[in-house]
Each structure stands twice: as C-alpha cells, then as structure tokens.
C-alpha cells in the first residue's frame, strides 16, 4: 500500500477509492470545471466513494472513443494504479463505447455522473414509486453498457447477478433485463394512473410545489409551511419521493404543498423523464416555489439549471415565485441589496431560521387571489348533492342559512368557473330553487 492515499486502507475502503475526471470545454455558458468537480465530489461522497484526486483536461471536443485524449488516458491509468483506485468517475455522460473502451484501458470500473446519481437515487428511494423509477432508469442505462466488467449491477441492492459474466451470460442477461424493463414500465403506468386519481380528488385545494436545485432547502421550507416532518439533510438528493401535505392552519385558503426531487446540472433528459410521475406533482400545481440557495457560490447557475429543466418539462410559463433561501448565510448587505434589485418579485428568507416566512405566505396568497373569481348562489336545502360537487371545485368562503335556502359565496379558480355556473344552473332547474349568481 502506498503512503500517498489520504485514507486508512481497510479492505472495504479501498473498494470505494475513486478518481474523478472532468473536462473543460470551450464556451462561456459552462461554469468552470472546478465547480462541477466540487459538486461531483459531493455526489461521490454521498454515494460512499472516497474521492482521492481529480484530473482535468482542456479540450475542444471529447474524443469519440475514449472521451479524453490518449495521453491523458495513460496518465489516468497510472494514477489509478498508483492510488489503488477501483472506480473512475467522469463528470460527463459517456457513450456506451467510451465507457467500455475506458474500462479496458484503465483496467477498472468506469462510471459517469448520471450513473453516480442513479446509485444515490437507488440508496435514497423509499416508496414503491421511487424504487420502481430508479430501477427502471438504471436498467435502461446499463443495458447498452453491459460488459464483463460490469459486476457492479449485482453489487447494488436488487441487482441482477452479473459478476464476472461471459458473453453468453451477457446475452441472457440482456434478455432478462429487457423483460424486467417492460414489467417495470407496466408497473409504473399503473402507479401513474393511481396518482392521477388521487390528484383529481384534490381539486378543491390550491397546490404549491417546491422545486429547485438539490440541497437548496426545499424540504426545510416544506417543514416550515406544513407539519410534514420531511427529511432534511445536508446531502444531495435527500428527497426522492414527492410528499404532499396541507399548509398550516393559519393560511386563508386550503392549500397543499408538495416537495419534489432536487434538480442538478448535467442530468440527462432520459433520467429526468424517468422521474416524470414524481415531477407531475409540479406540473399539476397552481404555483411553483423555485427555491435557490443564495449562499452557494454557484447559485446563479442553479437558477439557470432549474429554469432550463422547468422549460424542458413544459413548465416555464407556470406561475412561479423565485425564493432565495439561506439568507442567514449572507453577511454582505450590499450583495443582498443587489440581488433584491435584480429580482424585485422574489422572496428572500431563511427556511432554517424561520425568517421571511410571512412574506412568502403573503406572496403565495397574492398569486392565488389573482386567479380567483367570486361566485354567489342560493341553493335549496335539499340540494346537498350540488353543494358537494361545488365543494370539490371551489373554496366555500361563506355559508348563510336563509329562509329561501342556503346562500353561499365561493371563490373558484377561473378555470372551474364555467363548470360551477353549470352546476348551479342545473340545480335551479332540478330543484326549482332560485339560483342567483353574481361575479
């Protein structure tokens, strides 16, 4: 064992020794590679790797066969040997061919950022839905990359047993994986249908979804706004399952808040798609709270990444409030003033310290009220059926019991207004009551 490794070298720890690799490509859009590698290091540690060193290369375009140039591959191979690393983790997505060629050249396991994220997801998934989504995404990702060296699918829970397999075995495994993929897809669409039914039953509440970069503080805010007791941790991708809770009682409208999976840079499209049904909560909401950690040196990029991903999900036009979290970490008042100037509509708060929550509530209420219309109607006393239907579509803000019947005032989202008017109309013809509406 050499003395240069930074960690104790018990058998188990050596297994987790890793080297990180990133390339700096030209273009101003991209943040410096050092930032990405810091993030990759955080991801690697979350997945229990021990990152020993990072290697970078400036390139105009990645090499189609080995991603890095051949000289750099040699250098990397020496570093792997010297540090006794078992895994090399690339910051960018590798093609199946690049993945295979690199494993051959480096004589060790090679993974990329998407796969690393999937390993974390796999560790953190708790519900049936999240587990199914993760397994499906992993199998789809692994299928074209299946080689003799890919013993690591079996290493993880729920693995499919491919340690040191031969070519015939690989063919067999491919078939098994394809079968499993189609089973999982069926299961997921079943879960999706169940969720849609649940969503329909929640129509009478407003829905707010917390979205944003991983570790921004979404779950912490969720806990402040509701009585959720959601898991908050200083680790990446603590939350994988969409939790939905009622907002605390002192809020003027019945509102459900949902916490969603965190977003991250360089997350491939197909991986996002595999979390479609979790993110459907965001799609189904009336308002997005886009949470960003203002204390993070790269927070501007986090805002950009979040906006880009929301756009890919078709949510860029949804009503949203930009929420700058963790203001307790900012000592520079001028910096804060500058950001406030740039985002006049945003809310600045500290979820952890409970500062600025009232301002957020006010901002949420304002957003709702822009989209509400007030309707009044009289219903006859024997028309509880219509009342129940209205209750599902609108918020009953006042009920008065008069001689003519029940006089109600409701606030309804503009979208459901015509359905309510129809209901009131039909109730007056059926029951001969005097339904009056005013807007």
Choose one: 40-48, 229-237, 385-393, 424-432; the region binding ligand GTP (CB under 6 A): 229-237
CB of 44: closest distance to ligand GTP in angstroms?
A: 15
Binder of residue 236, out of Mg ion, ligand GTP, none (CB less than 5 to 8 A by kind): ligand GTP
Q: Which of 5, 57, 219, 380: binder of Mg ion (CB under 5 A)?
A: 219
**Cβ proximity to ligand GTP, 88 vs 216, nearer residue:** 216
CB of 436: closest distance to ligand GTP in angstroms?
A: 48
Closest among 16, 13, 32 to 24, alpha carbons compared: 32
CB of 231: closest distance to ligand GTP in angstroms?
A: 7
Burial string for 394-418 (b: 16+ CB within 10 Å, else e) reads bbeeeeeeeeebbebbbbbbeebbe
What is the distance between the alpha carbons of residues 72 and 77, in angstroms, rounded to a whole number? 9
Q: Is 236 in the site for ligand GTP (CB under 6 A)?
A: yes
Q: Is 216 in the site for ligand GTP (CB under 6 A)?
A: yes
Q: Are 430 and 385 in contact (CB under 8 A)?
A: no
Q: List, as one string, the DSSP characters of 121-178.
A: HHHH--SHHHHHHHHHHHHHHHGGG--TT-THHHHSTT----TT--HHHHHHHHHHHH
> Residue 102 is encoded by which pair of tokens?
């690199």
CB of 296: closest distance to ligand GTP in angstroms?
A: 10
Q: Which of 40, 238, 289, 435: binder of Mg ion (CB under 5 A)?
A: 238
Choose one: 82-90, 235-243, 394-402, 413-421; the region binding Mg ion (CB under 5 A): 235-243
Q: Which of 16, 83, 93, 218: binder of ligand GTP (CB under 6 A)?
A: 218
Count of residues that interact with Mg ion, criterion CB under 5 A:
4
Helices (H), 25-93: 33-46, 70-83
- The answer for residues whose C-beta is within 8 angstroms of residue 429's C-beta and 6 or more apart is none
Q: Are 184 and 139 in contact (CB under 8 A)?
A: yes
Count of residues that interact with ligand GTP, criterion CB under 6 A:
23
Strand order of the β-sheet with 87-90 is 50-58, 17-24, 87-90, 109-112
Nearest residue to ligand GTP, scored by beta-carbon proximity: 262
Choose one: 55-63, 140-148, 180-188, 345-353; the region binding ligand GTP (CB under 6 A): 345-353
Q: Are 118 and 272 in contact (CB under 8 A)?
A: no
Binder of residue 428, out of Mg ion, ligand GTP, none (CB less than 5 to 8 A by kind): none
Q: Is 215 in the site for ligand GTP (CB under 6 A)?
A: yes
What Å distances lie between residue 110 and 77, 139, 189, 327, CA to CA?
12, 17, 32, 39
Binder of residue 351, out of Mg ion, ligand GTP, none (CB less than 5 to 8 A by kind): ligand GTP
Q: Going residue by residue from 238 to 257, which x/- string records binding to ligand GTP, judged by CB under 6 A?
A: xx------------------
Q: Is 232 in the site for ligand GTP (CB under 6 A)?
A: yes
What 8-state DSSP symbol labels residue 438? B
Q: Scan residues 247-306 and list those touching ligand GTP (CB under 6 A).
A: 262
Q: Is 326 in the site for ligand GTP (CB under 6 A)?
A: yes
Choose one: 172-180, 211-219, 316-324, 336-344; the region binding Mg ion (CB under 5 A): 211-219
**Cβ proximity to ligand GTP, 349 vs 406, nearer residue:** 349
Beta strands at 395-401 and 406-413: parallel, antiparallel or unpaired: antiparallel
Q: Which of 239, 258, 278, 322: binder of Mg ion (CB under 5 A)?
A: 239
Q: Which of 352, 371, 389, 391: binder of ligand GTP (CB under 6 A)?
A: 352
Helices (H), 236-370: 269-274, 276-283, 299-312, 333-342, 357-370
Burial string for 319-353 (b: 16+ CB within 10 Å, else e) reads ebbbbbbbbeeeeeeeeeeebeeeeeebbbbbbbe
Q: Is 328 in the site for ligand GTP (CB under 6 A)?
A: yes
Which residues make up the interface to Mg ion (CB under 5 A)? 218-219, 238-239
Which residues make up the interface to ligand GTP (CB under 6 A)? 214-220, 232-234, 236-239, 262, 325-326, 328-329, 350-353
């Amino acid at each position: 064992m050499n003395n240069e490794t930074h960690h104790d070298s018990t058998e188990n720890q050596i297994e987790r020794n890793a080297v990180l690799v990133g390339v700096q490509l030209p273009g101003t859009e991209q943040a410096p590679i050092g930032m990405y590698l810091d993030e990759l290091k955080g991801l690697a540690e979350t997945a229990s790797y021990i990152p020993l060193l990072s290697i970078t290369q400036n390139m105009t375009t990645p090499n189609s066969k080995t991603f890095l140039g051949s000289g750099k591959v040699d250098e990397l191979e020496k570093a792997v040997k010297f540090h006794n690393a078992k895994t090399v983790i690339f910051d960018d997505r590798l093609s199946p061919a690049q993945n295979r060629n690199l494993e051959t050249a480096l004589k060790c396991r090679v993974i990329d950022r998407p796969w690393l994220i999937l390993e974390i997801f796999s560790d953190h998934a708790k519900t049936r839905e999240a587990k199914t989504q993760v397994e499906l995404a992993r199998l789809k990702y692994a299928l074209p990359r299946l080689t003799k060296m890919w013993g690591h699918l079996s290493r993880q829970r729920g693995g499919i047993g491919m340690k040191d397999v031969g070519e015939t075995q690989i063919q067999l495994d491919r078939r098994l994986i394809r079968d499993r993929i189609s089973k999982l897809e069926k299961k997921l669409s079943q879960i999706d249908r169940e969720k849609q039914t649940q969503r329909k039953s929640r129509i009478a509440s407003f829905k707010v979804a917390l979205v944003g970069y991983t570790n921004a503080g979404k779950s912490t805010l969720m806990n402040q706004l509701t009585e959720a007791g959601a898991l908050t941790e200083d680790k990446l991708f603590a939350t994988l399952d969409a939790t939905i809770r009622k907002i605390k009682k002192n809020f003027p409208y019945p509102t459900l808040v949902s916490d969603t999976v965190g977003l991250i840079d360089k997350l491939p499209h197909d991986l996002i798609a595999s979390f479609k049904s979790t993110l459907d909560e965001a799609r189904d909401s009336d308002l997005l709270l886009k949470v960003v950690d203002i204390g993070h040196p790269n927070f501007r990029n986090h805002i950009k990444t979040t906006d880009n991903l929301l756009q890919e999900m078709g949510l860029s036009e949804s009503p949203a409030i930009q929420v700058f979290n963790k203001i307790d970490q900012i000592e520079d008042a001028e910096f804060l003033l500058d950001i406030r100037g740039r985002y006049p509509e945003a809310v600045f708060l500290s979820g952890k310290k409970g500062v600025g929550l009232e301002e957020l509530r006010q901002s949420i209420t304002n957003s709702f009220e822009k989209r509400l219309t007030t309707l009044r109607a009289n219903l006859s006393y024997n028309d509880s059926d219509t009342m129940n239907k209205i209750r599902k579509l609108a918020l009953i803000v006042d009920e008065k019991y008069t001689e003519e019947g029940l006089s109600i005032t409701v606030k309804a989202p503009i979208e459901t207004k015509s359905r309510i008017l129809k209901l009131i109309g039909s109730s007056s013809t059926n029951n001969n009551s005097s339904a009056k509406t005013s807007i």
